Amino acid sequence: MDKTKYIFVTGGVVSSLGKGIISASIGKLLQARGYKITIQKFDPYINIDPGTLNPYEHGECYVTADGMETDLDLGHYERFTDIQTTRHNSVTTGRIYQAVIDKERRGDYLGKTIQVVPHITDEIKRRIKENAAHEHFDFVISEIGGTIGDIESAPFMEAIRQLRWEMGGDAVNIHLTYVPYLHAAGEFKTKPTQHSVKELQSMGIQPDILILRTEHHLEDSILRKVASFCNVEPECVVQSEDLPSIYEVPVNMQHQGLDIAILRKLGAPLQFASRDGDMSVPGLVSWYHFLHLQQEAKDEVAIGLVGKYDLQDAYKSIRESLCLAAIYDGRKARLHFINSEDITPGNVAEKLDGMAGIVICPGFGQRGIEGKIAAAHYTRLHDIPTFGICLGMQMMVIEFARNVLGYTDANSAEMDDRTPHNVIDLMEEQKSITQMVGTMRLGAYDCELKVGSRVWKAYGEKSLISERHRHRYEFNNGFQAEFEQGGMQCVGIHPGANLVEIVEVPDKRWYIGTQFHPEYSSTVLNPHPLFMSFVKACLEGVKN
């Protein structure tokens, strides 16, 4: 298909309906028909990116390979579709206004008065089309954050209105709304959806397709009612009911003909014949295989997440990576969050009791640090499979220095700048020869693996890998020889800058820390090899 088509996904009634899952599912279905797609997220908040946002407020900060801190929905996009997003796939109101103000300061507008229309909306339109300007895509899916009626979303809605008018039949709007069920009345209520569509129409946008979010199955009569009252064709009204797994959503959407409706609305060829429930549709065979494995997995494996953010979305990619890896091993991952602030040397055995493996989670700041160190000490002594990620790796290193190397004052530069044994140092400009954002190491960096190490085997005996980073501190190479003599091997090194990326203790069943975030690279059809290896080690302990 020569001309790029655009799909705009908006939401109404309430927030948190799952626009990210719907957008990712649409992308997956279009891929299944042989189309090349990309998905982008437009967030209405004024922050430049989520990098400084509290995880309790925004969930995890997802990092793209090119070093952009983004919304967690980009994690859904990549896990569902196996595409690799970039900084062009995540845009906030803050970035839009910053770009316009920078242009104004340079004199690009030739002294004109800068206004929301046309200058802000033109910049939004430019960003919407930017991905297709760098690389040809058959479809660009744009998810608009927030809820219809929010004052913050108004410029984005106006930009969409203009683009749909300019593009004609090459753009559609898919509107996701909520249909509540009133138990007292014993019936569903479609009025909130009608009002949401009316609000959208008041902005000059007529939705082409409606997706009704519901906790219970909707009868056809309700779908027909919504179609009639909202001026949408009956076959373009589908429902997204609660399902056991988010990974069943693409299949549910396919069974209702969502992909056919989108292609028909955009005048794009179907490319492959489709029959309801046909598992042989190209691109979905592996997906159905995964769903089969997921449904067959009955036994559980208990894994503890030692961290300080008591919010499921704060470790979203880690949780999904563990669940995916367990499914491919025929198990369901039963994840237990263990707040590191509550862990002490005296109660660590009780807190970690019953766990087949422990993940020491990433994070920033000093809160909960000592609890993570106590957990690393306990799991190392008791040979419990342990996976330390980013800050988690650094806590494993500090614990080893204190209790094996005898540096009882071992710490990081952040935790205690005065100690002579800062085994984790604040990254200095001269220490990194690659691009940096401030003092952060962000995005994908190469890593050379030590031949024969456990991680080398986990990666399929690959010697060079590339993984994504988000951190300010590095392993202090001045202690490397002592660590390796003591039994903790530095088995992954970033070449050139000679930065330690991976440590492992070979005489333990599985005791590995990574400076990078492997969870960002784990997808439904290609779970990350380190998570696969870790879960396998956990299961061996369960079997024994």
Question: How many alpha carbons fall within 13 Å on the CB side of residue 172?
Answer: 21
Amino acid letter at 12?
G
Active site residue 230: no
Asked whether the beta carbons of 344 and 371 are under 8 A apart, the reply is yes
User: Residue holding tokens 């995964």?
Assistant: 290
Residues in the chain: 544
Amino acid letter at 242?
D
Active site residue 183: no
CA-to-CA separations, 227 to 214, 230, 236, 369, in angstroms, rounded: 16, 5, 8, 54
Asked whether the beta carbons of 477 and 500 are under 8 A apart, the reply is yes
Amino acid letter at 415?
M
Q: Taken in order 340, 539, 510, 320, is the CA torsion positive or negative?
A: negative
Q: Taken in order 264, 266, 267, 268, is the CA torsion positive or negative?
A: negative
Active site residue 447: no
Helices 220-230 and 191-202, packing angle to 10 deg = 30
Give residue 415's Cα distance to chain centre: 29
Residues 6 or more apart in contact with residue 478 via CB below 8 angstroms = none
d(CA 483, CA 161): 60
Helices 285-296 and 316-328, packing angle to 10 deg = 80
Phi then psi for residue 233, to 5 deg, are: -60, 140
Both tokens of residue 246?
């988010």
Phi then psi for residue 306, to 5 deg, are: -95, 110
CA-to-CA separations, 505 to 305, 385, 413, 524, 543, in angstroms, rounded: 20, 11, 24, 29, 22
Give the closest residue to 503 by CA, choosing from 529, 526, 530.
Answer: 530
Q: Which of 390, 447, 490, 538 is catalytic?
A: 390
Q: Which of 501, 517, 528, 538 is catalytic?
A: 517
Question: How many alpha carbons fall within 13 Å on the CB side of residue 173?
Answer: 28
Q: Which of 158, 320, 474, 519 is catalytic?
A: 519
d(CA 414, CA 367): 12
User: Residue holding tokens 């990210």?
Assistant: 20
Q: What is the DSSP string of 262-330?
A: HHHHHT----S---TT-TTSTT-HHHHHHHHHHHH--SEEEEEEEES---GGGGHHHHHHHHHHHHHTT
Both tokens of residue 134?
């760098």
Asked whether the beta carbons of 18 and 80 are under 8 A apart, the reply is no
Helices 73-81 and 19-32, packing angle to 10 deg = 20
CA-to-CA separations, 531 to 179, 184, 278, 441, 493, in angstroms, rounded: 38, 46, 32, 23, 20
Asked whether the beta carbons of 124 and 155 are under 8 A apart, the reply is yes
Active site residues: 390, 517, 519
